Structure 1
Amino acid sequence: MEAAESMLTAIAAAGPLESEKVLVGISSVLTWARTSPDADEPEKPITEADYKKRRPHSSYKELLALEKLVTKSKREGLRAHVVAAGLLYGAEEDIFHDLFKAAWSNKPLPLLTLNDGSNVLPTIHINDLCSITAKLLEVDSLPYLLAVDSPADEEKPQTFAAIVQALSTELGTGTVLPAPARPEVLLMPDYEFFQVGTAIGDTPGLKLQAAAINELGFEWHAEGGLLACMPTVVQEYRESRGLQPLRLIVHGNDEVAKTELTEALAQEYKLPCLHVSKVLDAATLKEDELGAELAAARAAGPVSDELTAKVLGAALSTVECRNQGYILQGFPENCAQAALLFGSKVEAEGEEAPPEEAEEGAEASTSLASAPEFVIVLEADEAVIKEKLFSQDEPSMTEEQLTEMLAAYTTNNSEDSPTSVLALPALAQVEPLGPIEVRADTAVSSILSKARVYLGQPRNYGPSDEEIAAKKALEEAEAKRKADEETAAEAAREAAELEERKRREEHESRRAAEVQQQEHELLEVRSIPLRNYLMQNVIPTLTEGLIEVCKLKPEDPVDYLAEYLFKNNPVEDEQFD
């Protein structure tokens, strides 16, 4: 808003314009949200001729003021137009995106309304809004225009409830949930857009009709509105968001490698994985006509290819497979089986043809599934296949069945074989990956890396909020585990260092004591000659002198002792002698 006001201020301050300019302001029908219909003809739609009577939603009063500034900007050399656009749809879907995403994700759609959803929504396709804007650059028109599409079927008004139901039917499960409680709706983003046209008390809901844009002479892209053009809009949504279904067959003679690759791809690309045996098991448990027919056929013997194709066709026709795609394993194994499942019609490149109806005379409930756009072929030597298969706790087939299967595969998939799955005309545009040679030591990761390049990026929204939270929790748990391990390792290291320090201190203490003892003993040894010398030459005379001192107790005992020792020195006596 501030940027727009600054631009209008700059335009007003600009001098004379050298050539004619056109200013087009794109606004919203929310500036009409509180406009009351004509009291005399309350059911009559309101057109742009009544634009001066418009009353905005409480949150769009500033936008209304900006509209007035744009219309007032008209002057010589400058044409100014305001285009009040209906609720935008098309391409990435703008405010309708959350509903489209929920439908594509196979979730029931909520009816985000504060009433029963019977309000008629004024909408406009983004392409039509662009065409109107471009046309206003070429031709003059009213200063204020309503840009809303014109649904032709008045008996089926474009109500919010009808739009949600049509979207759920076309893209999702077909289920629409009742309107949530009012507090929940008020917390939803953009909820106010879906309340446009709601009746207020006894006043009928607002109905807007564009008149001036029909005189501009542009070519409509979706004049019938969102409700009438729902199939086309859904396809545009898939294309613009990169959400086209990814359909893949994993083919080949190595069942173990195919299963490993299928499970890895299903997890990474978020695709439903359909293995023929598991699909048949699940269908047998269902309490419906097809389940009963399949149970009876399995009890009688091997299931026919026709019935297998019928069951798989039903599984591939689910909403999940229509939206996300599929990974198919185990069927078809030859061209005849592929024709039963996918038909023989050749589809143009990039075209997603609707499922064909079964040929006349076939089961009424049978329909042909959408053909795959990718095929990955894995092949291994018989010895490798046997080693991997029979090393499992519960092999999926006996050695006799395996030999029969390998022989049939070799026959059907020899070079240029007319019975190969890839010989089906419906798969004429498919360029397979492989055959990839699988050895005994081939890791599924190496095959998966090739498959990533072949298939391209996943066609989905990426990880969901729950998956992101789960991944974050795992990362936090792993980080905590590593931190705990590092803490424990650090504590162990410190404990080891402390123990080593104590050991060294004890060792040094023992060493010092030993050294001290050795020095003491050495001194003892060295002191023996000196002691003997003193005992022989000094101690006897000294002892006698001390005894004399004790007896006489002279006034100067030290001098007396010295005199005594001098007089009684045995060495002098011996020398004189």
Structure 2
Amino acid sequence: MADKTEEIPQNARRVFVNDVDKYTSKNIARFLDLCVVGASLVDPGEADVEEDDDRLHDEQPKLKGATFQIVGTVSSQTEEKCSFIAEEYSNLKREDLRRHLMKCDVVIYDITQNADQIDEAQWAVSALHEEMDQFSGPKMFILLSTIMTWAMTKPADKDYPEFPFTEENYRRRKAHPNFHNHIGLEKLVIKLGKTKSSQFSTYVVASGLQYGMGEHLFHLFFKMSWLGEVSQVPIFGDGSNIIPTIHINDLAGVIQNVIDHKPKPQSFVAVDDSKNTMEDIVKAVTFMLGPGKTQNVSKEEIYLIRDLTQTDIDSLLLNLRIEATYLKGNFNIQWVSETGMVENIEQITEEYKQTRGLLPLRICILGPPAVGKSTIAERICKHYKLHHVKLKETITETLENLESCVRIEDEENDQSEAHEFLDTLKENMNQNEGRLDDQYVIRIMRDKLRTKPCMNQGFVLDGFPKTYEQAKELFTGDEEPEGLQSKHEKKIIPEFVFFVDATDVFLKKRVLNLPETVVEGTSYTPEQFLRRLADFRERNIEDETLLNYFEDLEIHPEHLEITSNDDSEYLLVIEKVCKKVGKPKNYGIILEEVEEEERRQAEQQLKERAAQRAEAVRREEEEAQKRDHRWGEWNQQLEEVRRQEHDLLESQSELLRNYLMKDVMPTLTQGLIECCRIRPGDPIDFLAEYLLKNNPEG
């Protein structure tokens, strides 16, 4: 739990908000924290002082008097606490939650983002209803539901289906199949509020799809456009479905009015006046932030987007015409975006970038030739995810784009400014041996810096401009620096300028040591390099140098010295640059990239393990083959030994057999016959004596 250190006024109204760390609840809590109780009861036209339009985006000191004290649950405990939350609770048991709810004057439950909160909201409103007699004062329960509980409502007049629904059609509303639990809770909340409304009043606010303050549901399209990684932003389906929407701060204003007015009706629809289609919204977003091009894809492709939940998908495919007639006629809302998202897209996109800290970084790297500007620029671009803008590559890219445009125009028998500009550039290059006059170079580079990618993420301008005059024309046209007030031109002027330098001796030695294969066809041949280096030094000792230009604009260049060719030298330079520039102001390594990298590493590990297993199997098979071969050879050798032994025994036994058959067996046989005839008492002794007497050699 985290408590505010400042003292809360005794007349503050205590407001509970669930999931106060999530998009919807957080913005409602932030809004109410800036409000005075009863402020929406006063007509702004009668106010003595007109409030600034940007009051919701700045943390302002609270006015004296009754204020809202915000407490609430968080889905996950983090070290970072919201300054507008007096108390945060996490992992509460139901009894502890009941105790906190009983201390609050207003309880707000949002179920638009997390359907898991439906059960808790049902328990909370039922628990409070049971404790009505124990209330120290009147309490209010506000259920923030979704317009999806109206999604399948049939038109009252079939002949005029384009007529929008209003709150009068409340009892005929029909929910989307995936939102039956939402509408069930809505009915329960309305029912419990009818028992004793003076003591316990309940309200249901059916919110349109929310946008603004960094985006939530529409974030996919904002992010895709801002990153510029796709040439065409997808529209799922034909895009003709009408999306009821409301700015998150306008929704918070509706909640404020419900608290202040305590209206008789218990159910409201909270949408703006727009009837924008999905196509209108996506085209507006990508025109402001991205390539300005869209493509229709099948509805099924939306299921391939990992960031979208089923609730998000159902909401984005909604097609519903509905009007918020009650709040228009009875509430006092200081609209941020009454006419809708498309009409206010410039404000919304600026709000998106500011809220998420997606601010462009504009950096310029200057220095003599061969000092390593491009190496440093590439590393800065990689670290900050910026666009590397080099003169030669930009001119080549521009010519290729113009050629492409002209080919399309020729196919359509149409000629425009692109055709004329391409002819002008080619003619100028023919007259100048392949080079362009400064006026065309300036125009090409300015157009490059004005592209959406450079305007969104930022850029590193590598080695350009080269002179005071070029800088003046590129960033301010013909005006003096003091006259630089053009909004568009201010967005392309570098915020940081780094001047990378080295001694002439070092630079000459570096170029002379380059391999011929690297030098060939470049401006690093000895003659060209020495001329370029001399020109650079000469330009930077004049009264009006390029660095003077930036100094005049109070953009003070940072000087960086290169003294060796070691990579560690560049690491130190990049470290100094990062210290000066600060943290990245974009998405950095986004979740998809982290997951993709993890997936790539997992796949790589699986491949390595599979390769290791395959290698082990191969080695085992090879060893088995070798064992079989060795076993075969051994068996063959053993068989040969046995055969040789047998042959030896056979040759030796033949002599013995001949001897026995000739000299032993006849006498022995005769002795055995005699023994059998006589049958002596000791046959062995008899046979021995017989053989001794009848020995042929005896």
Structure 2 length-normalised TM? 0.60
Give matches, 1:333-352, under 5 Å: 333-343=466-476
The one-letter amino acid of 1:82's match is: V
State how far apart, in whole Å, the 2-side matches of 1:352 and 1:78 are.
57
Deviations 1:394-435 (A, max 9, x none): 1534545545544554455459x543245258x825343x21
Q: Determine whether 1:109 maps to 2:224.
A: no
Which residue is 2:295 aligned to?
Answer: 177
Contact 1:332-1:421 within 8 A present in 2 as well: no
Which residue is 1:293 aligned to? 424
- Deviations, residues 176-195 of structure 1 (Å, cap 9, x unaligned): 11231x44345653221123
For 1:479 and 1:120, the matched residues in 2 are separated by 46
Relative to structure 1, is the Cα distance of residues 223 and 422 closer, same or farther in structure 2, using a 3 angstrom cutoff?
A: farther
1:445 corresponds to: 571
1:143 equivalent to 2:266? Answer yes
- Name the structure 1 match of 2:130: 13
1:309 and 2:426 correspond: no
Q: Secondary structure at the match of 1:435?
A: strand
Inter-partner Cα distance in structure 2 for 1:399 and 1:334: 23
Please tell me the residue identity of whatever aligns with 2:284.
A
Aligned AA (1:175)? K
Q: Does 1:69 align with 2:200?
A: no
Corresponding residue SS for 1:169:
helix
What code does the residue aligned with 1:192 have? D
Q: Residues 98 and 292 (structure 1 numbering): CA distance in 2 closer, same or farther, change over 3 Å? A: same
1:207 to 305, 312, 322: 322
Q: 1:91 maps to what in 2?
A: 213
Give the match for residue 119 of structure 2. 2
Query: Amino acid of the residue matched to residue 461 of structure 1?
Result: Y
The 1:72/1:324 distance shift into structure 2, 3 A limit, reads same
**Alignment check: 8 A CA contact 1:32 1:54 kept:** yes
Match of 1:326?
459
Return closer, same or farther for 1:78/1:410 CA change in 2, 3 Å cut-off: farther
Residues 252-261 or 83-92, more deviating: 252-261
Equivalent residue letter for 2:443: K
Contact 1:147 1:210 in 2 (8 A): no
Does the residue aligned with 1:355 lie in a helix, a strand or coil? helix
In 1, Cα distance between the equivalents of 2:480 and 2:172?
58
Q: Partner residue of 2:155?
A: 37
Corresponding residue of 1:380 = 502
For residue 250 of structure 1, the aligned residue among 365, 381, 395 is: 365
Change over 3 Å in CA distance of 1:248–1:291 after alignment to 2: farther
1:1-27 Cα deviation digits (max 9, x unpaired): 111112112201112422233222111
1:328 aligned counterpart, secondary structure? strand
Q: Unaligned stretches of 5+ in structure 2?
A: 1-117, 407-418, 620-698
Name the SS of the counterpart of 1:227 in structure 2. coil
CA distance in 2, matches of 1:248, 1:452: 11
Give the 3 Å change call, closer, same or farther, for CA 375–456 of structure 1 in structure 2: same
Output aligned runs, 1:410-425, within 5 Å. Answer: 410=537, 412-413=539-540, 417-421=543-547, 423-424=549-550
Matched residues in 2 for 1:476 and 1:401: separation?
49
> Per the alignment, do residues 291 and 262 of structure 1 end up closer, same or farther by CA in structure 2, a change over 3 Å counting?
farther
Aligned pair partner of 1:27 in 141, 145, 148: 145
Between the aligned partners of 2:350 and 2:548, the Cα distance in structure 1 is 28
**In the superposition, relative to structure 1, how do residues 402 and 187 fare at CA in structure 2: closer, same or farther (>3 Å)?**
closer
Give 1:436's aligned amino acid: L
Kept in 2, the 8 Å contact 1:148–1:210? The answer is no
Whether the 8 Å CA contact 2:125–2:141 is kept in 1: the answer is no
**Corresponding residue number in structure 1 for 2:662:** none
Larger RCO (alpha carbons 8 Å, 6+ apart): 1
Would you say the 8 A contact 2:442–2:470 is kept in 1? yes
- Does the 8 Å contact 2:244/2:321 carry over to 1? no
The Cα of 1:455 is off from its aligned counterpart by 2.3
User: Following superposition of structure 1 onto structure 2, how do residues 499-514 of structure 1 map, counting pairs within 5 Å?
Assistant: none
Structure 1 unmatched ranges of 5 or more: 152-156, 198-204, 357-367, 492-577
Whether contact under 8 Å (2:455, 2:491) holds in the other structure is: no
Q: How does 1:525-540 map to 2 (within 5 A)?
A: none
Distance 2:584 2:444 in 1: 27
Cα 1:471–1:268 change in 2 (3 A) is farther
For 1:506, the equivalent position in structure 2 comes to none
Take 1:207 and 1:177, find their aligned partners in 2: how far apart are those partners?
27
Q: Kindly indicate whether the alpha-carbon contact (under 8 Å) linking 1:36 and 1:206 is maintained by their aligned counterparts in 2.
A: no
Three-state SS of the structure 2 residue aligned to 1:233 is helix
Letter of the structure 1 residue corresponding to residue 503 of structure 2? D
Task: Give the conservation status (yes or no) of the 8 Å contact 2:502–2:562.
Answer: yes
1:476 Cα deviation after fit: 7.3
Quote how far apart the aligned CAs of 1:63 are: 0.7
Change (3 A) 1:240 1:214: farther
- Alignment partner of 1:463 is 2:594: no
SS at match of 1:439: coil
1:498 matched to which residue of 2?
none
Counterpart amino acid of residue 555 in structure 2: V
CA deviation profile, 1:489-542 (whole Å, cap 9, x unmatched): xx9xxxxxxxxxxxxxxxxxxxxxxxxxxxxxxxxxxxxxxxxxxxxxxxxxxx
Rounded Cα–Cα distance in structure 1 between residues aligned with 2:280 and 2:323: 18
1:53 paired to 2:211 = no
The one-letter code of the counterpart of 1:27 is S
CA deviation profile, 1:352-375 (whole Å, cap 9, x unmatched): 97535xxxxxxxxxxx97222222
Mapping of residues 477-516 of structure 1, within 5 Å = none
- 2:580 match: 454
| Cα drift, residue 30 of structure 1 | 0.4
1:223 — aligned with what? 338
Asked whether the 8 Å contact 2:268–2:324 carries over to 1, the reply is no
**Corresponding residue number in structure 1 for 2:513:** 391
Give the 3 Å change call, closer, same or farther, for CA 240–346 of structure 1 in structure 2. farther
Once residues 598 and 481 of structure 2 are traced to their aligned partners in structure 1, the CA distance between those partners, rounded to angstroms, is 40
What is the CA–CA distance in structure 1 between the aligned matches of 2:563 and 2:125, rounded to whole Å? Answer: 71
d(CA) in 2 for partners of 1:281, 1:326? 18
- Cα offsets for 1:343-395 (capped at 9, x unmatched): 167999xx997535xxxxxxxxxxx9722222222111111122223322315
1:39-59: CA deviation from partner (whole Å, max 9, x where unpaired): 175433222232222111111
CA shift in 2, pair 1:444/1:90, >3 Å: same
Alignment RMSD: 3.3
Structure-2 residue corresponding to 1:567: none
Given residue 120 of structure 1, which amino acid in structure 2 is its aligned partner?
Answer: I
Is the 2:240–2:277 Cα contact (8 Å) retained in structure 1? yes
Residue type matched to 2:122 in 1?
E
SS at match of 1:137: helix
Residue 164 of structure 1 and its aligned partner are, at CA, apart by 1.3
Native 8 Å contact 1:89 1:125 kept in 2: yes
CA distance in 2, matches of 1:56, 1:347: 61
> Of the two, which has the highest radius of gyration?
1
Query: Residue 376 of structure 2 corresponds to which residue in structure 1?
Result: 261
Partner SS, residue 366 of structure 2: strand
Q: Give the counterpart letter for 2:355 in structure 1.
A: S
Letter in 1 for 2:123: S
**Is the contact between residue 88 and residue 124 of structure 1 (CA under 8 Å) also seen in structure 2?**
yes
The residue aligned with 2:315 is: 193
Provide closer, same or farther for how the CA distance between residues 45 and 313 of structure 1 changes in structure 2, counting only shifts above 3 A: same
Counterpart of 1:282 (choices 392, 397, 400) is: 397
The alpha-carbon distance between structure 1 residues 387 and 437, as it changes in their structure 2 partners (threshold 3 A), is: same
The one-character-per-residue Cα deviations of 1:128-180 (angstroms, maximum 9, x if unpaired) are 111221232222223111111113xxxxx411111111212111112211231
Question: Could you tell me how far 1:64 is from its partner in structure 2?
Answer: 0.9
CA separation of 1:68 and 1:467: change in aligned 2, threshold 3 A: closer
